[in-house]
Amino acid sequence: MASYKVAIVGAGPAGYFAAQALQNLQTDDLQFTIDMIERLPTPWGLVRSGVAPDHPKIKTVSKVFEKVATAGNFRLFGGVELGTDISIEQLREMYDAVVIATGSAIGKKLGIPGEDLPGSISAAEFVPWYNAHPDFHSVEVPLDCQTAIVIGAGNVSMDVARMLALEPSELDQTDTADHAIAALKESTIREVIISARRGPENAAFTSPELRELPKLEHTNVLMSKSEIEAAIVRAGETIEKDTKSNLDAMLLISEKEKTNHDRTMKFQFLATPIEIKGTDKVEEVIFQKTGGEEKFAIKCGLVITAIGYEANSIPGIPYERGKVKNTDGRVDEDLYVVGWAKRGPSGVIGTNKSDASDVMKLLVEGLKSAKNSGDVSELLKDKKVISQSHWELINAAEVAAGEPLGKPRKKFVNREDLLKVAHS
């Protein structure tokens, strides 16, 4: 029987699905021991710090992750950063294969004047801020204005706009960070504009997300019916199924009667942002009608860009255009990549399952004789590592703290608090 050691770097969905795929590929003759290395003291990646808190169903996939983690051949090494606490070279010496699953954490920039003014932030900061990510609790989010503009027409921009436009008491029974609920309750924002540079027929939203918008209880969702109808004409008869479903959902939104809620989420299409203006903070965004000359300005105090992500580079790993340089997930003979770090920031959480499974089949094909060279815990003996049982303590404490409040969990925000609970 051959037994191989595989390190997976990054405890997000792609990492867990890679581990699950390896577990499923085991036979009597082929066994794996899997070590998952994660920078944060908590696992689950975007399921913990990306998925919108008002979408708890999406987070139930964490049950799959816990099943993988407790299957017997899996160890978690949380609080360990590749490139700082341990190098890729050390991992490659010790493991038969290394799988990079570190996602895409950096928000893409518009590259327009004024983008760095206070009050202009990226979804890559705002989303982890409301999700209690320990690195983002002190992000400055000015909510003391009337209008916020969210740039981008994907599901992240929709999450961001919804979080800003919801009646914040709707978040009381979610796992939104306490600091974010408190700040959103003080927010004076009453108009949130989602701004797309192309037409409704080219929007990257998916239809389930669009279809839930009319169900918002305290928010008017506005789309212009004539704009959607024009998009339906432009899309023509050979329209793709997903685009048709999106446009049908948008038409329903545009036909819904306006209610007297004082919170509004409004969609604007065919508007290219060309400048963010303000003396010492954001005051307005200048747009140009896409494909035309006409320019117009919208006053606002907060701009959030949600226009995609790039991977953070780790020393010793080749990158190209915001992703790890790879061929079908293979980086080198013992080095693989899965998830957003491999293919860029696309797809839903489930997309990572088939993707990781294909890459793990390649990994198995590339295995040579097992190395059996040392244990990573030797290298990490002076670090306060978060093991699976430490994480289970954190998880139980968060769930217990949330229970009397009707929340699925009450998240710890500071690393120190997380470590204290883990090592209690």
Write out the residues near ligand NAP by the rule CB under 6 A: 110, 151-157, 159, 196-198, 202, 204, 206, 209, 306-308, 345-348
In the complex with ligand NAP, the residue whose CB is nearer, 271 or 337, is: 271
Strands across the sheet containing 335-337: 74-78, 30-38, 2-9, 97-100, 335-337, 330-332
CB of 150 to ligand NAP, least distance (A): 10
In the complex with ligand NAP, the residue whose CB is nearer, 25 or 58, is: 58
Amino acid, res. 57: K
In the complex with ligand NAP, the residue whose CB is nearer, 34 or 149, is: 149
CB of 315 to ligand NAP, least distance (A): 26
d(C-alpha 95, C-alpha 217), whole Å: 52
Angle at 125 between CA 121 and CA 127, to 5 degrees: 115
CB of 197 to ligand NAP, least distance (A): 4
Q: Is 343 helix (H, G, I), strand (E, B) or coil?
A: helix
Nearest to 249 by CA among 309, 205, 297: 205
CB of 320 to ligand NAP, least distance (A): 18
Packing angle between helix 241-255 and helix 225-235, nearest 10 degrees?
Answer: 160
In the complex with ligand NAP, the residue whose CB is nearer, 77 or 129, is: 129
Six-digit token string for 315: 């020393």
CB of 337 to ligand NAP, least distance (A): 17
Strands across the sheet containing 302-305: 120-122, 302-305, 147-151, 191-195, 263-268, 219-222
Distance of CA 145 to the CA centre of its chain: 26
Select the residue whose beta carbon is closest to ligand NAP and give its number: 154
CB of 114 to ligand NAP, least distance (A): 14
Nearest to 45 by CA among 87, 5, 17, 84: 17
CB of 242 to ligand NAP, least distance (A): 11
d(C-alpha 384, C-alpha 301), whole Å: 42
In the complex with ligand NAP, the residue whose CB is nearer, 188 or 346, is: 346
CB of 136 to ligand NAP, least distance (A): 17
Q: Which residues contact 104 (CB under 8 A, 6 or more apart)?
A: 309, 310, 311, 312, 322, 323, 340, 341, 344, 345
Judged on CB neighbours under 10 Å (0-12, 13-18, 19+), 26 is: middle
Q: Which residues contact 418 (CB under 8 A, 6 or more apart)?
A: 41, 42, 134, 386, 394, 412
In the complex with ligand NAP, the residue whose CB is nearer, 322 or 345, is: 345
In the complex with ligand NAP, the residue whose CB is nearer, 7 or 307, is: 307
CB of 206 to ligand NAP, least distance (A): 6
In the complex with ligand NAP, the residue whose CB is nearer, 17 or 412, is: 17
In the complex with ligand NAP, the residue whose CB is nearer, 149 or 418, is: 149
CB of 310 to ligand NAP, least distance (A): 11
In the complex with ligand NAP, the residue whose CB is nearer, 145 or 196, is: 196
In the complex with ligand NAP, the residue whose CB is nearer, 145 or 349, is: 349
CB of 328 to ligand NAP, least distance (A): 20
Beta bridge pairs of residue 220: 264
d(C-alpha 90, C-alpha 264), whole Å: 53
| 58 and 155 Cβ atoms separated by less than 8 Å | no
Nearest to 193 by CA among 146, 134, 235: 146
